[in-house]
Chain A
Amino acid sequence: DAGVTQSPTHLIKTRGQQVTLRCSPISGHKSVSWYQQVLGQGPQFIFQYYEKEERGRGNFPDRFSARQFPNYSSELNVNALLLGDSALYLCASSLSGLVGSYNEQFFGPGTRLTVL
């Protein structure tokens, strides 16, 4: 059984550009969450989608947006990139929208975004 997959693996962009990151959840999982991990820190919650609806949003500016498709895959978009957006972007999938026993979040390998 395939785990969570993310593409691309690495990405280099310049300030002001826009980027789209993609995630495919584990088969049968209906929830996808996005996290940003800056070097030396733990992952920070950006969004959660469940059944194609946004169920949670972290403290990130409106330049960050996401969506979930009917097959439960998801895209994270970041507009007007800043140097500070350089980070590892992690996608996690889970069965349902609430974190708890038997509903752990499983993470993909991440997309490393570098903004120059």
Chain B
Amino acid sequence: DQQVKQNSPSLSVQEGRISILNCDYTNSMFDYFLWYKKYPAEGPTFLISISSIKDKNEDGRFTVFLNKSAKHLSLHIVPSQPGDSAVYFCAASDGAQKLVFGQGTRLTINP
């Protein structure tokens, strides 16, 4: 029962262009969503979050969009930089103690 899904295992984007990572969820009780970035041999690093009362949150080059009716969120990175190459995880919470993660999307930024 995969409550959080990232259907694209990998994504390749040219440096300077926009990277769009997508995430779908099934549990309507989720009210808080996060994106984490993971480099090899490191733990996930918190990137940006959004509460269900909002539909957009921006932090520098990173913007997260939430479409509650479609149970879909996306992370936009503009402009993409080589250091953005990593695995990105979408995670969700229903306000309780745990995070439910998607399978991850490997983003590669090409020069």
Contact = CB atoms under 8 A, between A and B. Distances in A.
Interface in A8-48: 33, 35, 40-45, 48
B32 A100 contact: yes
A107 B93 contact: no
Contacts of B43: 4, 90, 92, 107-110
Nearest to B100: A45
Nearest to B94: A99
Interface of A is mostly: loop
Interface residues of A, number: 28
A104 B46 contact: yes
B28 interface: no
Given A43-B89, A90-B44, A107-B44, A99 B101 contact: no
Contact of B97 (A44, A56, A101, A104): A56
A51 B5 CA distance: 32
B77 interface: no
B99 A105 contact: yes
A48 B95 contact: no
Nearest to B90: A42
A56 B104 contact: no
B42 interface: yes
Interface of A: 4, 33, 35, 40-45, 48, 50, 55-56, 58, 90, 92, 97-101, 104-110
6 contacts: A35-B101, A45-B100, A58-B98, A100-B51, A101-B49, A104-B46
